[in-house]
Amino acid sequence: MRERTLRVDYLARVEGEGALHLRLRKGEAVEARLEIFEPPRLFEGFLRGRACTEVPDLTARICGICPASYQMSSTQALEAALGLEVEPAVRDLRRLLHLGEWIESHALHVYLLHAPDFLGFDDAIRLARQAPDPVRRGLRLKKLGNAVMRSVGGREIHPLNPCVGGFYRAPEREDLVALLPELEWALEAARETVRWVAGFTFPELERPYEFVALRHPQEYPVNEGRVVSSEGLDIPVAEYEEHFEEEQVPHSTALRSRLRERGAYLVGPLARLNLNADRLSPPAREALEEAGVEVPIRNPFRSIVARSVELVEAVAGVMVLIERYRPPERPRLPVPEALPEAVVGHGCTEAPRGILYHRYRVGADGLVEEARIVPPTAQNQASIEEDLRSLAPALAGMDRAEATWLCEQAIRNYDPCMSCSAHFLTLTLEEG
Amino acid sequence: MSDPRNGKRPRPKLAVWKLASCDGCQLSLLDCEDELLAVAGAVEIASFPEVSRAEIAGPYDVSLVEGSITTPHDLERIQEVRRQSRVLVAIGACATAGGIQALRNFADVQGLVGAVYGRPEYIRTLERSTPVSDHVPVDYELRGCPISKAQLLELVTALLAGRAPDLPTSSLCQECKQMGVVCVMVAHGTPCLGPVTQAGCGALCPALGRGCFGCFGPMEAPNPDSLAARWRELGLTPEAVERGFHTFNAWAEPFRDVARREDGR
Ligand code: SF4
Ligand code: SF4
């Protein structure tokens, strides 16, 4: 019996360290493993005993690509625990910061990490030698995302301004308004991005995913909402753990999540768009229609299209928020140092790669007693492996180099972040 | 670096490596959007897995190393990187001080692993998270969590030009005063690590009205004990003082045992 093993020892163009192991027999995958060997950093362990006010600075360091998402999920979980309610202008600022991160992260992934796959280049630098314009466009979009993050967060990597209770200092309106001319350019550049990627050739693969994302009554989901799925799940964030569980497998330092009732599921731009297309702003909806893409999109290789539509959504959203921005009266609510009793809070926001869930238990002394963090890549891990299995028949007819490339590309569909996923793992049990 | 056969200078080979880290310092390089393509033209990016599938074998002229040593595997890798690199630069708090993951160094690691993983036996990790310089000679260090883009560009330019990079060793206070920011500790009694932290960020935190929490690590010859005493006068408990020093550079020598020393007085 002929067996073929495909191994990629170090996955490139993903954040963090992972490997791929695939064993094929007669056009079927007998084993498909995404191995995350990112060294564990044990965050949930050492968050214990820290004051609530220190948490956002610490959780930011889980990931340099999406630090604001970690800050947003943790501040909101802690505020829920402490019973703090920020004013709407603070809420807007958070959304602004978060959308800046989407722009930065999505531009990075679309242009520098994923597009080279579709065009047959090893990286964006080699792509830039042949086609400098798109790469420059991507870098300029990314730079704008960073500028938004810096204006609101004080720094693009590991922002300093967000805190439990709001922000240390509200940005000046004129500093934000100064970004508008570049945003005008970016709106067109983001629409151009959708046109560009929609014209790529996509490998064939469709699977009956269960998509999971936040859903908000009016907005495209970013910072808040209920957790919903394409199979009818619809729960408040606080019930997350009743429906999702994590398991630990020997080949990975990341825990994998499953829906208790149904197993693997998918989070991220594809899930968000499929579940929330009716909440897109007009420019993003137009871009989607213009590209001739219909939702739901079930081909994971088309996630780059969803990500690009979200670039339009994020740029348009930032413009609306800046136009209506008035500095909040109380940018920062005081955080109680002691509490009558221990409290628990849950938070979930949409990181660029999908929902990011946090739960904290805070003791009466105001120190964290227990932290739990479930990052998007850990949630997608099972889905990634199932995609690889489903590719087996296609791989059978390919030579090794071609097959390897396709598998890598399939993994990059998820924009996986190993740094995130390995940093979080929490109490999990695999039977046996 | 010139090639003896034709006298032409080949482009120096640059490699970027990752150990235990958040990818933020590598991202700082990609965040130099305006200069990125110029840098990519001036050097040959020989290995940079976060950005490219292509890999060119060593030796490398310059290696940038992000992250700290936390696993037996990385302990071996760093030796190999050193062997393959003419100049080795440790970038960021992880690589220069063990990073935030060095908080484990003050705790029982097996206990921490047990708290995080249901099956701790699957996890291979070292008792301590340590900086690169604990294991191999390092030519330059860039501080920060994350590093500053300006300093990174200065370093790369200096190396390309064959001169020593110009990097500060003075305290954040100096930078803060230059920016004309009101001192948060004097004016508002906010605990700030500025007096003992190395300059480099542009005093971002005091400018926002919050105290520095030390992402650039200890300056040259700091006096953390006297700062800790001042914090106690401001009303902080010994535990709060310890937590203040124990973040991204907790394992940097001057910050390690501040609270304990302060307590012993
Ligand atoms: S020093 Fe900070 S920014 Fe750099 S890799 Fe470590 S945690 Fe990330
Ligand atoms: S002021 Fe301190 S904590 Fe803030 S960015 Fe600078 S070095 Fe980091």
Contact B146 A425 (CB under 8 A): no
Query: What's the confidence (pLDDT) of residue B119?
Result: 67
pLDDT digits (tens, 9 = 90+) for A91-109: 999 999 999 999 999 999 9
- Read off the pLDDT band of A214 (50, 70, 90): very high
Which pLDDT score is estimated for B103?
92
| Closest residue CA from atom 2 of ligand 2 | B212
- A69 located within any domain: yes
DSSP secondary structure string for all residues of A324-381 = T----S-SBPPPPS--SS-EEEEEEEEETTEEEEEEEEE-TTSBEEEEEEE-HHHHHH
Max intra-chain CA distance, chain B: 69
Render B94-140 in DSSP notation, one character per residue: HHHH--GGGGGGGS-HHHHHHHH-S-GGG----S--B-GGGTS--SE
Set of chain B residues whose Cβ sits within 8 Å of the Cβ of A423: 22
SS3 (DSSP) at A135: helix
Read off the CATH number of the domain in which A137 is found.
1.10.645.10
Residue of chain B nearest A19, judged by CA positions: B49
**Per-residue pLDDT tens for B32-64?**
988 888 888 899 989 888 888 888 898 999 999
Query: B83 falls in which pLDDT band (50, 70, 90)?
Result: very high
In a domain, A289, yes or no: yes
A207 and B CB contact within 8 Å: no
Q: What pLDDT is recorded for position A428?
A: 28
Q: What is the pLDDT of residue A419?
A: 67
Residue A142 lies in a domain: yes
Residues A133-155: pLDDT tens digits? 999 999 999 999 999 999 999 99
Domain region containing A322: 43-420
Tell how far the Cα of B68 is from the centroid of ligand 1, in angstroms. Answer: 9
Cβ within 8 Å, pair B36-A17 = no
Q: For residue A249, what pLDDT is reported? A: 74
Is A208 contained in some domain?
A: yes
Which of B101, B116, B146 is the closest to A426 by Cβ? B116
Alpha carbon distance A31, A386 (integer Å): 10
Distance CA A38, CA A16 (A): 6
Q: How many residues does chain B have?
A: 265
Average pLDDT of chain B is 89
- Assess A245–B contact: CB distance below 8 Å, yes or no: no
Other CB atoms within 10 Å distance of the CB of residue A168: 17
Q: Is residue A305 part of a domain?
A: yes
What does the alpha-carbon distance between residue A212 and residue A383 come to, in Å, rounded to a whole number? 12
Partner-chain residue, chosen from B20, B125, B243, that has the shortest CB–CB distance to A51: B243
- State how far the Cα of B130 lies from the Cα of B137, in Å rounded to an integer: 14
What type of residue is A199? G
For residue A342 the two structure tokens come to 């221990």
Task: Please name the residues in contact with A256: beta carbons below 8 A apart, sequence gap of 6 or more.
Answer: A246, A247, A248, A249, A378, A379, A381, A382
User: For residues A246 and B29, which has the higher predicted lDDT (pLDDT)?
Assistant: B29
Q: Is A62 domain-assigned?
A: yes
Domain boundaries, chain B: 13-161, 172-246
In a domain, A3, yes or no: no
Band (A232; pLDDT cuts 50, 70, 90): very high
- Tell me how far the alpha carbon of residue A173 lies from the centroid of ligand 2, in angstroms: 24
**Topology (CATH) of B13-161:** Rossmann fold (3.40.50)
CA-based nearest residue in chain B for residue A116: B52
Predicted model pTM: 0.94
Q: List the single best residue of B43, B50, B112, B142 to mutate versus A (max A Cβ within 10 A).
A: B50
CA-based nearest residue in chain A for residue B201: A155
Q: How confident is the model at residue A261 (pLDDT cuts 50, 70, 90)?
A: confident
Measure CB to CB from residue B45 to each of A125, A161, A250 and give the nearest one. Answer: A125
CA distance A5 to A22: 6
What amino acid is encoded at B127 in this protein? E
Read off the pLDDT of each residue in A418-428 and give the average, rounded to a whole number. 47
Q: Is A148 part of any domain?
A: yes
Say how many C-beta atoms besides its own lie within 10 A of residue A415's C-beta.
Answer: 28
| pLDDT per position as a tens digit, B109-118 | 777 777 766 6
> What share of chain B in percent tops pLDDT 70?
91
When divided into structural domains, chain A yields a total of: 1
User: Model confidence at A424, in pLDDT bands (50, 70, 90)?
Assistant: very low
pLDDT tens per residue, range A154-184:
999 999 999 999 999 999 999 999 999 999 9
Pick from B148, B197, B249 the residue to mutate for probing ligand 2's pocket: most ligand atoms within 8 Å of its CB.
B197
pLDDT band at residue B4 using 50, 70 and 90 as cut-offs: very low
B210 C-alpha vs ligand 2 centroid, how far in Å?
9
Contact B53 A158 (CB under 8 A): no
